[in-house]
């Protein structure tokens, strides 16, 4: 599958819990409060993902009672099922692949004073089982460093982390590090410019975005859901990385949400519903 390094990193960098309580502060004003709704009533419901040279497919976001309950794809490549305790996401079960390639990841989310503090869980496939722990460092309500360690018994088998910098209400840089202990890759993604429109991924729960910060799944979830706006120019660099810069062009609806985005290797079309 043809992918440039930047988009691979976005995939690895893979959704502020929505609920019925209208007294909660709108996260479009403060996108970093992890249990506030991303918009007053409009949420992302579907993405059509088309990559150059590949068959397009759809990503469906299923909302029930003002909460994101599941995510699925038309090609059955992945699915997410969310469990809530009150208004907070307490568990996420993700399945990827099919048959002998099936992998199931169970994430248990732990909160402190209403903020997602840590995530632990298991990753199970036909060939391997591992446990993982995820630590999250904040500056106020903004996550600035997320690290996940996978272990088999007492041995660390894989680690992944991202250091996040912000300018205003948007991520300006994501310094990623991932791999087995003996070989770590370190791509650095710099978001050079943003538009002034609404980010569709901000309507998804931020606890979902943070929990899936390093899930390799095309466009379904990412820490980019913490942004207020949409990036338009982005660069990738780092040790051993061929520097690249990409431009994304958006088409918007009358309410300021994107309906389409075009990048060199892929096109996304967005649909929404009102809760």
The pTM of the full predicted model, rounded to 2 decimals, is 0.85
Q: Give the pLDDT score at 273.
A: 96
Q: Which of the pair, 192 or 265, is modelled with greater confidence?
A: 192
Query: For 89-132, how does the pLDDT look when each residue is reduced to its tens digit (9 = 90+)?
Result: 999 999 988 777 899 999 999 999 989 999 999 999 888 899 99
Asked if the model's pLDDT at residue 260 lies above 60, the reply is yes
HEC assignment per residue over 199-230:
CHHHHCCHHHHHHCCCCCCCCCCCHHHHCCCC
Taking residues 149-178, report their average pLDDT: 94
Query: For 25-84, how does the pLDDT look when each residue is reduced to its tens digit (9 = 90+)?
Result: 233 334 444 444 444 589 999 999 999 999 999 999 999 999 999 999 999 988 999 999
Asked if the model's pLDDT at residue 24 lies above 90, the reply is no
What is the domain partition of the chain in residue ranges?
A: 5-274
For domain 5-274, is the CATH number 3.40.50.970? no
Among the listed residues 55, 99, 91, the one whose alpha carbon sits nearest the alpha carbon of residue 73: 55
């Amino acid at each position: 599958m043809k992918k440039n390094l930047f988009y691979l990193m976005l995939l690895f960098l893979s959704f502020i819990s929505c609920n019925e309580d209208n007294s909660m502060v709108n996260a479009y004003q403060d996108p970093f409060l992890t249990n506030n709704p991303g918009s007053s009533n409009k949420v992302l419901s579907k993405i059509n993902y088309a990559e150059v040279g590949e068959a397009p497919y759809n990503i469906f976001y299923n909302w029930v009672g003002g909460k994101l309950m599941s995510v699925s794809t038309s090609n059955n490549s992945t699915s997410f099922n969310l469990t809530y305790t009150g208004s907070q996401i307490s568990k996420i079960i993700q399945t990827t692949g099919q048959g002998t390639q099936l992998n199931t990841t169970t994430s248990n989310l732990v909160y402190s004073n209403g903020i997602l503090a840590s995530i632990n869980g298991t990753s199970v496939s036909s060939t391997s089982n591992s446990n993982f722990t995820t630590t999250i460092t904040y500056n106020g309500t903004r996550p600035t460093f997320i690290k996940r360690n996978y272990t088999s018994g007492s041995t660390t088998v894989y680690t992944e982390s991202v250091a996040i910098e912000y300018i205003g209400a948007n991520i300006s840089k994501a310094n990623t590090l991932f791999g087995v202990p003996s070989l770590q890759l370190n791509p650095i993604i710099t978001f050079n410019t943003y538009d002034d429109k609404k980010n569709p991924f901000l309507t998804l729960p931020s606890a979902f975005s943070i929990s899936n910060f390093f899930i390799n799944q095309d466009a379904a979830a990412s820490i980019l859901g913490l942004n207020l706006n949409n990036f338009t120019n982005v660069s990738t660099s780092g040790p051993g990385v061929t520097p690249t810069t990409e431009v994304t062009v958006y088409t918007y609806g009358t309410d300021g949400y994107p309906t389409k985005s075009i990048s060199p290797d892929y096109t996304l079309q967005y649909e929404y519903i009102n809760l």
